[in-house]
Every structure is written in structure tokens, then in C-alpha cells.
Amino acid sequence: MSLPKRSFDTLIIGAGGGGLRAALQLSQADARVAVVSKVFPTRSHTVAAQGGVNAALANVLPDNWHWHMFDTVKGSDYLGDQDAIEYMCRAAPRVVYELEHFGVPFSRLDTGHIYQRAFGGQSRDFGGDQAARTCAAADRTGHAILHSLYQQNIRARTHFFDEYFAIDLLSDAEGYFLGAVAIDIASGEPILIEAKTTILATGGVGQLFRTNTNALVNTGDGMAMALRAGVPLQDMEFFQFHPTGIAGKGMLITEGARGEGGYLLNGDGERFMERYAPNAKDLASRDVVSRAIATEVREGRGVGPEKDHVLLKLDHLGSDIVKKRLPGIRETVMAFLHIDPAETPVPVYPTAHYTMGGIPTDRFGQVVVPEQQGAEEAVPGLYAVGECACVSVHGANRLGGNSLLDILVFGRAAANHIIDHLRDSRYHRPIPDGAIDSAMARLARWNQQGKGESVPALRRELARVMEDHCGVFRNEGVLAEGRKKVLELRERMHDAYIDDHSQVFNTARIEAMELENLMEIGVATVTSALARRESRGAHSRIDYPERDDVHWLKHSLFSLDGDKMDYKPVRMKPLTVETFPPKKRTY
């Protein structure tokens, strides 16, 4: 079967900050670039990033990249690769200045320099006093970055396939990646996009969990495409949660609510944090509060008809305090629950926020895989950047302000590497017969008529199982049962059908393919979490509460072939400075 074909130097799948930064660099170097995005580019999830970008500019307080590097290594609980972290922290000032030149309206000091705010986890002099390292455009940094990058790409003549959904990658027998098959969501027509190099930039996979902060589009499409193409996923057990999201909906209720005197109640009306943290109570660290909430619910002391959440009580603070000091929280609660937190307690549950794991890459954005148990080798023609990738600069936990930095630094680095590569590759490699068959079969599968499992119901069930069995409460029994359930769900997908077989704007078919992607990543995540018998960063095991550097200072790799785990060493050696050896992490 043949498809309409378009040819480019580089295909980028995903139009968030990482994809657009790479696209811009390439287009400015006169490469022919296509960006495929299932939503209009400026609707990508980068738009929701409020915090800012870390860079040691030293505009507000003394700072340097080496301190930033120390904080990032420590924050990663020593699982971050120190060569990539050094590279990122050194490149940070430059990417911020570039953004400024692209038109991002950073907040400023009276002197005219870029304003920098202090965030948790930022220190001066290797763990000393608080630093101020985060550059922000008010509370709309992601929005400003995304719009500026999109406009610059239009100027640089990047070609956009808006509202196209990428189905699968194409490769040849020698393992070169050659582009992808995508479908125009509006017409339902498939298209072959041929490219000398392909960058995956599809973001995170928060939709794996029932309660999460992510946009509905964050279904890990790039990660799943990589898995199906034989690339393992790295460190998928590390998922960042916030203790209090609006239950079942996910929007974040910041720590500020508890800082102002709010506290948590279980179904018996008990202020349960007193049992878990007698001193700090509701202001205990994030992981302690998260696990306490999950424990209450697991032990049957939840609230609501399904006893699946707890309550955050704010009404005792009085209407004036809530309105004056917590206006944003009040707005969110009123918009989504139609209750006033000044009068009624708010249903909350830990909410999934950020995917530290992803497609393994080196610091040039090249996807790398272990070669026959030997050293890593780059996969020819395939790159990944941003939240879908695992460079790994975040290791076991990400610092606030480092995710926007990650997408900018490595979007740019991948593009620069590709520009060099394109100089030596004037022609496209031939696309072998049958290369599109598996992608087309994946599409055709959803045209089958039949009655069976419902796609939306399976998605709800998967998100529920992941939340219950691979969320913040993890031990051998819970994870093993979770893995069994996710594997069963993946089997049940074979019996799933959709009723809508039309071509034009068939969102049911897109959602079905997104669910296939989520299923694969669900298996990867729960399998990796079950295997890692230690607590490190965001992966916290009740049965193995300590970090175990002797056995577990290594990256996990999950392969779809046999659902197998493998491991590889952490790159402890930075580029030019001394290694930061693992130490106990205290803040």
C-alpha cells in the first residue's frame, strides 16, 4: 500500500517548548523541518508551566552554574547523569538570553535586568543560603515561551502539520529511523512523513493516573512509539506527585493552603496528620503528606461515596483570610467544584505532575540503547527531547524551574547535533517495502466492527489501577498486584472496539490509540517500580524505606520485548568538574 508522502530533513513530533525550540534552531540553519502536533502548537502543555526557568544569572543574589549543578545533582537524589547536568547548567544563561531575544517578556528588576525568584531546592555555595535562580514572565512563563517560539518558527518557515496524530515511527533493517506515519485528524487521511532525522518531543504522561495536573493530551505518545520501535524506557518508576490536588480532577492546591493553617481530615473527621507527623503535622514534607493521604484511603478512612479522597479544611480560617490570602485556590475550587472553600472543606488526593523517566538519550538528544550488553550506542536518526526524554538531568526527582530549562537546552542541543549530521547526509535513505505496515495495521485495527470492551471505560480503569497501585503508596504486594492488573487490562485491549468508524474528525479512534500508548507505558511504569527495591527521590517504597546506593545507583530500562528490565550505570563523571558523590539528602 502506498501513502501520500512528504519529505523533510527533520520531523519533530510534538510542538511544546522542546519541539519548537529544536524546530527553530533547525529552520534558522535552513534545514527543512516539519512539526507534527495533535493540538494547535500554542495549546501544547508547555503553556501551563507557571514557575519559570532556572539560570545562574546572579541578577538578584550571587550565583554560578556550579552551584546550580550541585542543587540539581542533589535534587535528583544522585540518579541524574552529571555530564548532562553540567552541560544544562552551563548552557542555562545562554538559552534565557536567547529567549529574551525571541521576545519572551521576562519580569524585570528596576535596574532593567531579568528578575529572578527564589524557589525550593536552590542554594548558594553548594548547599548554603537560599539562591534566587528562576527567571519568570510573571506567572505565565510557559505561555510566553510557547507563543514566542511559535511566532519565531512561523518567521523561520517551519512547516506545521497542525492536528495530525503520529501513529508510529518508520525504520529500516539496519536500524535507521526514517520518519513516521501520521493521520490528519480532520480528514482521517494517513500520510507518510519521510525525514533524515526524527525528534520525539511529545511531553509527559500524567494521564496515566486518575488524579493528575496534566492536560488531557499528555498520553505519552512518543514514549510508546519508541517502546514499540524497540527502544527501552528509562527510570519510569520516578513520577513526581503533589500531595494535594482536587480529587478526581487533579488541579493543584498549593502548600500555601496548609501554610495558612488549613489541615486535612479523614472520613471519621479526624485530623490524621497528627498520627503521621506529630510535630510538623500538615506541614510535613510532600512525600510524607502524600503517603499519609493514600494510607487513610487504603485503610478505609476516605471520604465520599467511594471513600477515595480526604478533605482539606479551610473554612475555620474565616472568609476574609481565605479571600485575601488564598484567592487563587478559592477561584479554582469554586470554578471546578462550585463550593466556596471558605465555607466547605475541599476533597483532595495526591496528584501526578511530572514524568522524570522517558526515552533514554545522551546530552546531544540522541536516543541511546545498550548494544548487546555493551556500551550504549546512538540509534541512527532518532532523537528525543523534553519530558518524554530521559537525559537524565532530573534523575529521581526534578527541581522546580528545571523542566523549562531542560526542554530549551536539549531542544537546542539536539538541533545542533542534527545540523552537523545533515551536512553529511544529502539524501534520504530508501524506505523499505512494508515499513509502513505495522503503523497501518494499528490504524486499521480500530476500523474493526464488533462489541466488546469500551475504550473510555478501560482508560478510567487503567488510571484508577495506576493511582491505587503505582501512586504514592508503594510496596511489593501493592505493586505486584498492580502489575498483574495492568497486564490484564492490556490483554483486554485486544477485545476493545469503537462504534465510530467515520473518517472525518474521528476523535474516538485517536483516543483509542492514545489508550494503547498509555497501556504500554503503564506496564513500563509499574514493572520498573516493582523491580526497584529502595526509596530514592520520588520513588518511595514502604518496605524499602532507605536509598541503597550499593545496589540501586543505576538507571532502570524497561523493554516491551518480554516486558523485561535491564539496568545501566549512572554517568557520575561531569564534563570538566569533580563528581558530586552521593550524600544523604537533607533540606
Partner 1 sequence: MLELDLLLRDFLDEGYAALDDAGRHQFDAMLDYPDAVLLEWLMGRIQPADKDVAQLVATIRSTAAG
- In angstroms, give the least distance from the CB of 103 to partner 1: 14
Instruction: Pick from 331, 476, 491, 500 the residue near partner 1 by CB under 8 A.
Output: 331
372: burial class by Cβ within 10 Å (0-12, 13-18, 19+)?
Answer: exposed
Footprint of partner 1 on 34-93 (CB under 8 A) = 42-43, 45, 47-48
Q: Which helix (H) or strand (E) holds 446?
A: none
167: cell is 501513529
Q: Which is nearer to partner 1, 175 or 248 (CB)?
A: 248
Site string for partner 1, 191-230 (x = CB under 8 A): ---------------------xxxxxx-------------
Q: Which is nearer to partner 1, 437 or 500 (CB)?
A: 500
Among 3, 321, 337, 577, binds partner 1 (CB under 8 A): 337
Binding mask 432-461 for partner 1 (x = CB under 8 A): ------------------------------
For residue 511, the minimal CB distance to partner 1 (Å) is 12
Question: Based on CB atoms, which residue is closest to partner 1, 249 or 281?
Answer: 249
Among 332, 403, 527, 528, the residue binding partner 1 under the rule CB under 8 A is 332
Q: How long is the chain?
A: 587
Q: Which of 198, 290, 280 is nearest to 252 (CA)?
A: 290
**Shortest separation between residue 40's beta carbon and partner 1, angstroms:** 10
- Chain positions 515 to 554 lying near partner 1, rule: CB under 8 A, are none
Stretch that binds partner 1, among 175-183, 333-341, 530-538, 550-558 (CB under 8 A): 333-341
Print the binding letters for residues 124-153 with partner 1: x by CB under 8 A, - otherwise.
----------------x--x---x------
Least distance CB 457 / partner 1 (angstroms): 16
CB 261, min distance to partner 1, A? 24
Closer CB to partner 1, residue 202 or residue 212?
Answer: 212
Q: 346-355 and 310-313: which strand pairing?
A: antiparallel
Cell digits for 469? 497501585
Q: Which of helix, strand or coil describes residue 87? A: helix
Query: Residue 494: phi, psi to the nearest 5?
Result: -65, -25
Residue 44 CB, nearest approach to partner 1 (Å) = 10
Give the span between the Cα atoms of 241 and 423, in whole angstroms: 43
Which of the stretches 22-30, 111-119, 335-343, 412-420 binds partner 1 when contact is defined by CB under 8 A?
335-343
35: CB partners within 8 A, 6+ apart: 12, 14, 15, 19, 20, 23, 41, 153, 158, 159, 160, 161
Give me the least distance between CB of 249 and partner 1, in Å please.
6
In terms of CB distance, is 47 or 393 closer to partner 1?
47
Q: Contact with partner 1 (CB under 8 A): which of 2, 128, 305, 335?
A: 335
DSSP strands (E only) in 247-309 = 263-265
Write the DSSP symbol of residue 42. G
User: Under a CB-based contact definition with an 8 Å cutoff, are residues 99 and 145 in contact?
Assistant: yes
**Cis amide bond preceding 454, omega within 30:** no
CB of 515 to partner 1, least distance (A): 16
323 lies in the binding site for partner 1 (CB under 8 A): no
Size, binding site for partner 1 by CB under 8 A: 25
Give the Cα separation of 568 and 557 in Å (integer).
8
For 477, residues 6+ apart whose C-beta sits below 8 A from its C-beta are: none
SS3 152: helix
> Exposed e or buried b for every residue in 433-468, given b needs 16+ CB within 10 A?
eebbeebbebbeebeeeeeeeebeebbebbbebbbb
Q: How far is CA 394 from CA 69, 321, 415, 452, in A?
A: 11, 37, 21, 41
**Smallest separation, CB 142 to partner 1 (Å):** 9
Binding partner 1 by CB under 8 A: which of 16, 243, 250, 411? 250
Q: Please say which residue, 216 or 575, places its beta carbon nearer to partner 1.
A: 216
Look up cell 535507521; give the residue: 176
Residue 343 corresponds to which cell in the numbers above? 465555607
Active site residue 271: no
Which residue number, 201 or 439, has a Cβ lying nearer to partner 1? Answer: 201
| Selected range binding partner 1 among 6-14, 249-257, 445-453, 519-527, rule: CB under 8 A | 249-257
Residue 249 within binding range of partner 1, rule CB under 8 A: yes
Residue number, 216 or 480, with CB nearest to partner 1: 216
For the CB of residue 162, give the shortest distance to partner 1 in the complex, in Å.
13
C-alpha cell at 241: 506527585
Q: Is 251 in the site for partner 1 (CB under 8 A)?
A: yes
Catalytic residue among 133, 210, 286, 412: 286
Of 216, 210, 213, 218, the C-alpha closest to 248 is 210
Helix ranges restricted to H, 60-107? 65-75, 82-102
Closer residue to partner 1 in complex, CB, 52/537: 52
Q: Which is nearer to partner 1, 50 or 503 (CB)?
A: 50
The answer to whether the CB of 353 falls within 8 A of the CB of 164 is no
> Which runs of consecutive H residues, i.e. helices, occur in 198-246?
221-228
Active-site amino acid positions: 286
Residues found near partner 1 in the complex (CB under 8 A):
42-43, 45, 47-48, 140, 143, 147, 212-217, 249-251, 331-332, 334-339
